[in-house]
């Protein structure tokens, strides 16, 4: 930062300052926690000598608060990969099953949006294809905040729902599937080369809400990267130019994520998981009937409060995945 040319590249300087701030907060929190623990230990020893139960209880409560701070810092240490600090895109696709799966895909989207809201992160709807009766066939959202991709990167996979269908007049139990794919929003310092000859660009009319202008002009954009068959689309802006720009940013992010997974030698399993949205591939099950349980099939972590999970309270699942999934 002391370099005379530091401020010439605004994006680079911005990212370095952000990284410096995060490291400083982590180090300061660690030092403060150590000092607080020492102070509480001295206070507890004094309270024991004086047999002061009120102070002893106060120390215990302060230790509980301190444990939360230490745990939060521990989690930040797991978010150490280059892409963990980046924002992210989340793509959600309904599986086979029509209205049932489309409604489930919409429930998942709302879950992540509520999680982002709890965290005070910014979220934007990039693209949406509504279901014929309810829910969404597919949806893409963007979430911006500290370490968003690091938090959500292990959410990629198939999510399974078991419930009494609100769309079934016979009140029968249904199983629905939807896929979730999370990939980082890359910054300008990560150079991804995209050749025009490798792209197929299509324009079409927006199928979602957005006003008369959006629905009557070919403002929505879909870009297909022919070599990898990656498809991205955007329809949230009235301007075709802006939608195309967003699509290109998404495509570069997808290509970056694709190459990172190849380097980690996980690409084959990743593609196999994407191949089928159904039985045998789910990473997490949300059961509302005949019992109430959310279970992550990779970490075996469970919650008996699916209503809270669907309201965006998924931090415990995210933490467990960081601890156990490399």
Kindly report, residue by residue over 98-145, the tens digit of the pLDDT.
Answer: 899 999 999 999 999 999 999 999 999 998 999 888 899 999 999 999
- Residues of the domain holding 60: 6-78
Q: What SS3 state is found at 38?
A: helix
* 37 pLDDT higher than 50: yes
Q: Does residue 1 lie in a domain region?
A: no
Residue 211 has what pLDDT?
42
pLDDT tens digits, 42-76:
999 999 999 999 999 999 999 999 998 998 888 88
pLDDT-derived band of residue 311, with 50, 70 and 90 as boundaries?
Answer: very high
**In a shared domain, residues 61 and 182:** no
Note whether 292 and 258 are same-domain residues: yes
Shared domain for 33 and 131, answered yes or no, is no
Task: From 61, 57, 37, 38, select the one nearest 47 (Cα to Cα).
Answer: 57
Number of independent structural domains in the chain = 2
Read off the CATH number of the domain in which 312 is found: 3.30.70.1660
> What is the DSSP secondary structure assignment for residue 169, as one 8-state letter?
T
Last residue of a domain, one of 62, 78, 94: 78
Report the pLDDT value the prediction gives residue 215, as an integer from 0 to 100.
47
**Using one digit for the tens of pLDDT, what is the confidence trace for 235-256?**
878 888 889 989 998 998 888 8
Do 140 and 259 share a domain, yes or no? yes
Helix (H) or strand (E) run with residue 29 in it: helix 10-50
pTM, two decimal places? 0.74
């Amino acid at each position: 930062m002391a370099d005379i040319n530091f401020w010439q590249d605004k994006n680079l300087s911005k990212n370095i300052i952000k990284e410096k701030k995060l490291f400083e907060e982590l180090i300061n929190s660690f030092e403060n926690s150590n000092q607080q623990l020492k102070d509480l230990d001295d206070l507890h020893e004094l309270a024991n000598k004086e047999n002061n139960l009120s102070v002893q209880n106060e120390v215990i409560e302060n230790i509980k608060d301190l444990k939360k701070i230490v745990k939060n810092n521990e989690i930040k240490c797991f978010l150490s990969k280059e892409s963990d600090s980046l924002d992210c895109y989340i793509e959600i696709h309904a599986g086979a099953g029509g209205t049932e799966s489309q409604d489930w895909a919409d429930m998942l989207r709302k879950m992540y949006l509520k999680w982002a809201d709890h965290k005070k992160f910014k979220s934007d709807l990039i693209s949406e294809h509504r279901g014929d009766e309810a829910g969404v066939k597919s949806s893409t959202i963007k979430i911006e905040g500290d370490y968003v991709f690091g938090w959500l990167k292990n959410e990629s996979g198939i999510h399974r729902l078991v419930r009494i269908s609100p769309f079934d007049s016979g009140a029968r139990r249904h199983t629905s599937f939807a896929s979730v794919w999370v990939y980082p929003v890359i910054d300008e310092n990560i150079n991804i080369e995209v050749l025009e000859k490798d792209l197929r660009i299509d324009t079409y009319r927006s199928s979602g809400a957005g006003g008369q202008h959006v629905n009557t002009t070919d403002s929505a954009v879909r870009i297909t990267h022919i070599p990898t068959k990656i498809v991205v689309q955007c329809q949230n802006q009235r301007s075709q130019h802006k939608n195309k720009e967003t699509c290109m940013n998404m495509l570069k992010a997808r290509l970056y994520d694709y190459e990172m997974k190849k380097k980690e030698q996980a690409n084959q399993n990743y593609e196999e998981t994407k191949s089928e949205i159904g039985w045998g591939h789910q990473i997490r099950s949300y059961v509302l009937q005949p019992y109430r349980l959310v279970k992550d099939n990779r970490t075996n972590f469970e919650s008996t409060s699916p209503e809270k999970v669907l309201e965006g309270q998924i931090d415990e699942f995210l933490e467990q995945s960081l601890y156990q999934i490399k």
